[in-house]
């Protein structure tokens, strides 16, 4: 009788894998690899267009948000750019890592109806997404030939993969080839796109305005007799209708910020007049002109080397709450009042710009 060898290995499948219970198991083919091989160059253009959408949203939307927050935290016109760059890089990395890993989409891919998937047609998960995103920092980096390495790979590889796809074993396919997308999921992403677009537009405008303000030469506004001047950003303009007696009258109509300079020769006053006494005269006059005045404390300043006194005044003008920043300045030949104001609710955001314009005040013959 033939002896049976119980140590012999069980039968193997065609793929070389041993089967349980004497049965046979065939490994599922990589469906997405086969699907990707049917695509032509059109998938490249979809991927490129999706990348451009994401690039614009990240740079002008998220980038503007980071710059705005950094500026608010620093409370200066020029925030720490190192911090801005770090926050921007981390946020951009997480944008791709989380969205592609959990859903297979970015906003750009959703618009172009393409999706990142694993071999089974599902979202790739965080590990594969991490691999893709790390390599994306190299092969689609706009600073490295504007993402040319990724574009070449997608065009020449049989499965239309970039380097990150090949490393993570992922594919970018058309959504319609994956079957029907649930209406709930589509609605959530449509809402996300609309929200992200609105946020991007708002902060893009803020970022572009800030950049323009830094690049465009500020405007110099001189007094009627060309003896005095202030410098204001490009979006300020002259408005002589505010007060006929003002030597300089300017405004930023878009943000409702206003500033006037009224100058009086020292010869119009007694020779014993002091800056403190002049400040008292101006203070009494302004308090009498508004309703429910709230006078802030005064502090000594130096404006372009001239002695000055600053104080704030809150009250109502024609039923509208207004906040004034008032500075009286003494120059060799004149006393001046620089009167800046905006709506009381907006003063916190406006005071830095108003003070910066105030501090630019100078006599023309001292330039």
Got the DSSP string for 346-357? GHHHHHHHHHHH
Answer for the pair 314, 219: CB distance below 8 angstroms, yes or no.
no
Q: Is residue 347 part of a domain?
A: yes
pLDDT at site 366: 47
Q: Domain holding 260: CATH number?
A: 3.40.1000.10
Q: Are strands 114-117 and 171-174 parallel, antiparallel or unpaired?
A: antiparallel
Residue matched to tokens 């104080």: 311
Instruction: Kindly give the confidence (pLDDT) of every residue in the chain, 367 residues in length, as a single tens digit, with 9 standing for 90 and above.
Output: 444 344 444 444 444 444 444 444 444 457 888 899 999 989 999 999 999 988 888 887 777 777 777 666 555 555 667 777 887 888 888 889 888 888 888 888 988 999 999 988 889 999 999 999 999 888 887 776 677 888 889 999 999 999 999 999 999 999 888 875 444 455 566 566 556 666 666 666 666 666 666 666 788 999 988 999 999 988 899 998 888 889 999 999 888 999 999 999 999 999 899 999 999 999 999 999 999 999 999 999 999 999 999 999 999 998 999 999 999 999 999 999 999 999 999 999 899 999 999 999 998 864 4
Do 58 and 184 fall into the same domain? Answer: yes
- Clarify whether residues 194 and 232 are in a common domain: no
For 145-172, the DSSP string reads GGGHHHHHHHHHSTT---HHHHHHT-EE
Cβ atoms within 10 Å of 89's Cβ, excluding its own: 12
Q: How far apart are CA 213 and CA 268, in angstroms?
A: 39
pLDDT in tens, 296-325: 999 999 999 999 999 999 999 989 999 999
Q: Tell me whether residue 254 is in a domain.
A: yes
Domain boundary among 214, 246, 264: 214
38 and 124 within one domain = yes
| Residue 19 placed within a domain | no
Q: What's the rounded Cα separation, in Å, for the pair 160 and 32?
A: 11
State how many domains the chain has: 2
Q: CA-CA distances (angstroms) from residue 345 to 255, 321, 351?
A: 12, 8, 11
Token pair listed for 355: 């003070």
Q: What are phi and psi of 164, to 5 degrees?
A: -60, -35
SS3 21: helix
337 and 303 belong to one structural domain: yes
Tell which residue, 309, 342, 328, has the closest CA to residue 262: 328
Final residue before a domain boundary, out of 196, 214, 232: 214
Task: Classify each residue of 212-245 as buried b or exposed e, where b means 16 or more C-beta atoms within 10 Å of its C-beta.
Answer: eeeeeebeebebeeeebbbbbbebbeeeeeeeee
Same domain as 148, residue 83: yes
Question: Is there a contact between 64 and 207 (Cβ–Cβ < 8 Å)?
Answer: yes
Same domain, 148 and 258: no
| Whether residue 100 is found in the same domain as residue 178 | yes
User: Is 257 a domain residue?
Assistant: yes
In this structure, are 158 and 76 located in the same domain? yes
Cβ within 8 Å of residue 358, ≥6 positions away: 230, 259, 303, 325, 327, 338, 340
Same domain, 198 and 234: no
> Smallest Cα–Cα separation from 27: which of 11, 15, 12, 10?
15
Flag whether 329 is in a domain. yes
Residue 146 within a domain: yes
Please write the tens of the pLDDT for every residue from 235-246. 899 998 888 889
Same domain, 128 and 225: no
CA distance 54 to 25: 43
Q: Distance between CA 367 and CA 351 in Å, rounded?
A: 25
On whether both 93 and 154 belong to a single domain, the answer is yes
pLDDT, residue 107, reads: 85
Tokens 């906040």 locate to: 323
CA dihedral 211, 217, 222, 227 (to 10 degrees): 120
pLDDT in tens, 180-232: 544 445 556 656 655 666 666 666 666 666 666 666 678 899 998 899 999 99
Phi, psi of 22 (to 5 degrees): 70, 5
356 to each of 14, 83, 200, 218, 304, how far by Cα in Å?
79, 24, 29, 12, 11
Predicted local confidence at residue 17, as pLDDT = 44
- Structural domain of residue 79, as residue ranges? 33-214
The reported pLDDT for the residue numbered 99 is 86
| Residue 341 belongs to some domain of the structure | yes
Same domain, 39 and 97: yes
Please report whether residue 4 resides in a domain: no
Whole-structure pTM value: 0.50
Residues 91 and 93: their CA atoms lie apart, in Å, by 5
Which of 104, 105, 96 has the alpha carbon at shortest distance from 124? 104
Of 155, 186, 214, which one is at a domain's C-terminal end? 214
Collapsing DSSP to helix, strand or coil, 224 comes out as coil
Pairing of strands 299-303, 291-295: unpaired
């Amino acid at each position: 009788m033939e002896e049976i060898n119980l140590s012999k290995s069980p039968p193997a499948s065609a793929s070389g894998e041993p089967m349980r219970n004497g049965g046979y198991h065939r490994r599922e083919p990589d469906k997405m690899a086969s699907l990707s091989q049917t695509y032509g160059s059109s998938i490249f253009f979809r991927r490129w267009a999706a990348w451009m959408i994401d690039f614009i949203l990240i740079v002008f939307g998220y980038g503007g948000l980071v710059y705005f927050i950094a500026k608010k935290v620093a409370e200066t016109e020029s925030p720490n750019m190192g911090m801005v760059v770090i926050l921007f890089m981390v946020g951009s990395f997480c944008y791709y890592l989380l969205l592609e890993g959990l859903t297979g989409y970015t906003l750009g891919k959703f618009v172009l109806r393409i999706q990142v998937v694993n071999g089974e047609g599902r979202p790739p998960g965080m590990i594969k997404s991490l691999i893709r995103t790390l390599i994306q920092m190299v092969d689609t980096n706009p600073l490295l030939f504007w993402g040319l390495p990724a574009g070449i790979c997608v065009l020449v590889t049989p499965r239309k993969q970039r380097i990150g796809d090949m490393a993570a074993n992922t594919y970018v396919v058309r959504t319609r080839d994956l079957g029907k997308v649930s209406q709930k999921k589509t609605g959530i992403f449509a809402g996300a796109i609309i929200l992200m677009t609105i946020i991007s537009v708002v902060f893009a405008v803020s970022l572009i305005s800030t950049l323009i303000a830094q690049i465009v030469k500020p405007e110099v506004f001189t007094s009627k007799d060309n003896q005095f001047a202030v410098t204001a950003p490009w979006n300020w303009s002259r408005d002589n209708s505010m007060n006929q007696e003002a030597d300089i009258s300017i405004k930023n109509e878009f943000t409702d910020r206003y500033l006037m300079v009224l100058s009086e020769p020292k010869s119009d006053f007694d020779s014993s007049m002091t800056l403190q006494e002049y400040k008292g005269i101006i203070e009494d006059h302004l308090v009498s002109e508004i309703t429910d005045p709230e006078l802030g404390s005064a502090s000594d300043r130096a404006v372009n080397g001239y002695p000055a006194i600053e104080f704030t005044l809150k009250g109502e003008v024609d039923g509208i709450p207004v906040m004034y920043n008032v500075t009286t300045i003494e120059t060799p030949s004149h006393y001046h009042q620089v009167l800046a104001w905006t709506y009381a609710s907006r003063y916190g955001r406006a005071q830095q710009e108003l003070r910066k314009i105030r501090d630019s005040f100078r006599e023309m013959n001292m330039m």
